[in-house]
Amino acid sequence: MERKELLGEVDRIVIKVGTSSITRGGSSTSKEFMDSVARQVKILKDEGKEVLIVTSGAIGIGLKTMKVKPNPNDIPIKQAASSVGQSILMQKWNESFEKQDLITAQILLTMDIYSDRDSVLNLNNTIDSLLSHNVVPIFNENDAVSIKEIGAVFGDNDTLSAVIASRTDADLLIILSDVEGLYDKNPNLYSDAKFIPTVTEISKEIEDMAGDPVTGLGVGGMKTKIKAASICKDAGCRMIIASNSVEDVIIRSVNGDEVGTIFVSDTHMSKKRRWLKSARSKGTIIVDAGAKKAMLEHKSLLPAGIIKVEGVFGKGDVVSIVCNGKIIAKASPNYDSGEVDKIKGAHSNKIYEILGYRSNDDVVLSENIIIL
């Protein structure tokens, strides 16, 4: 099947621009490259398409500006560098997009924000409003305020871009990289590495092809890109990994030219289940084999099947469901951790007697469970 057929209709696009792309292999931003991205975005928007950008580079730019070379685990310096570099990075993006008469908006995210149901719904409203007013939203992780964010929670901006693509129901995610796409092994190390133009299934074999980061500039490598492809697959979103050195790579990717590696999706999970799958768990509910069997049959989780509760979580928070030491699902319960702990092992008709009230017979409704 030709690339255009695999791609289908593309109306909303997320573009992930990594550190190696922004710096073009150097230690400072490439004005030429950023101008090129803005120009291509303008062309797409003139065609009636919506475009969102996920950008990296703040930490690297901040370190250069501060003239600091931190130790690998020197988190406070990297956080400080992020706060310095982010304003410079956005200034550079603003300058590039102003040449195209386009307005940009900065959105900084943490996993804590994304994992809160009300916050993520407000995020959607903000994004929709920005797009309706012809603004280009530019996302980055808020590295300056959370130690866990630097290369640990979203994973890096490959994963963040996939989460944004999933959350906004994008049709296509384009990840710009310093490699042409996916190879069966690292092309920088093996001259016989074979290029893979199309991936229809993220198999164990595909996962094994992903090695370590190909440069020392960003925290992402092919592993995080494969993870991003998996997130996109759940959302029914196609994804392309392409080289930042290809002229007009964004336009060509959207037009269905044979550039990079395309990951095709033939599945589509509900937005709520996608959120449950990618959000951070606030706690854990440990269940017995009977409860596991019921959930695998798409039934709700009843208090009788619950063995133990770990952590502190509220009603509607995201929790992990564990059976025999293995996470089998994630879910959003109808009761908080204290309430679940009190009613665990009991029959549903005893909930009122135990708590003095009853919100629901089910601890978790089936539609609020995602099997992993």
pLDDT of residue 284: 97
Q: Would you give the end-to-end CA distance of the chain in angstroms? A: 31
Record the tokens describing residue 181, joined without a space.
């796409």
Cβ atoms of 370 and 321 within 8 Å: the answer is no
CA distances, 7 to each of 4, 37, 45, 233, 252 (Å): 5, 21, 18, 13, 12
Residue-range domain boundaries for the chain: 3-273, 281-371
pLDDT, tens only, 160-179: 999 999 889 899 999 998 88
* CATH architecture of the domain formed by 281-371: Roll (2.30)
Sheet holding 103-109, edge to edge: 103-109, 135-141, 50-55, 12-17, 172-177, 238-243, 261-263, 198-199
Among 106, 215, 96, 239, CA closest to 165: 239
Residue 268 has pLDDT above 80, yes or no: no
Among 59, 58, 14, CA closest to 37: 14
H-type alpha helices, 210-262: 222-235, 249-254
Q: Rounded CA gap, 204 and 222, in Å?
A: 14
Dihedral angle of Cα 94, 96, 97, 98, to the nearest 10 degrees: 80
CATH number for the domain whose boundaries are 3-273:
3.40.1160.10
Record the tokens describing residue 350, joined without a space.
């005893």
Average pLDDT of span 120-131: 92
115 versus 176: the higher-pLDDT residue is: 176
- Count the alpha carbons within 13 Å of 247 in the hemisphere toward its beta carbon: 0
Residue 3 has pLDDT above 80, yes or no: yes
Q: Rounded CA gap, 334 and 153, in Å?
A: 26
Residue 210: other Cβ atoms inside 10 A? 18
Look at strands 261-263 and 198-199 and give their pairing: parallel
pLDDT of residue 296: 95
Nearest 5 degrees, angle CA 224-CA 225-CA 228? 90
When computed from its CA atoms, the radius of gyration of the chain, rounded to whole angstroms, is 22
Among 153, 163, 103, 101, CA closest to 132: 103
Q: Is pTM, for the whole model, over 0.95?
A: no
Q: Rounded CA gap, 1 and 237, in Å?
A: 18
pLDDT, tens only, 40-60: 999 999 999 999 999 988 888
Cβ atoms of 78 and 70 within 8 Å: the answer is yes
pLDDT, tens only, 13-37: 999 998 888 877 666 678 999 999 9
Cβ atoms of 368 and 331 within 8 Å: the answer is yes
Record the tokens describing residue 134, joined without a space.
């012809």
pLDDT of residue 187: 79
pLDDT of residue 149: 45
pLDDT of residue 72: 64
pLDDT of residue 27: 60
Residue 50: other Cβ atoms inside 10 A? 21
In this structure, of 93-97, 116-120, 222-226, 313-317, the range with the lowest mean pLDDT score is: 116-120
Residue 213 has pLDDT above 50, yes or no: no
Average pLDDT of span 152-156: 53
Record the tokens describing residue 328, joined without a space.
């089998």
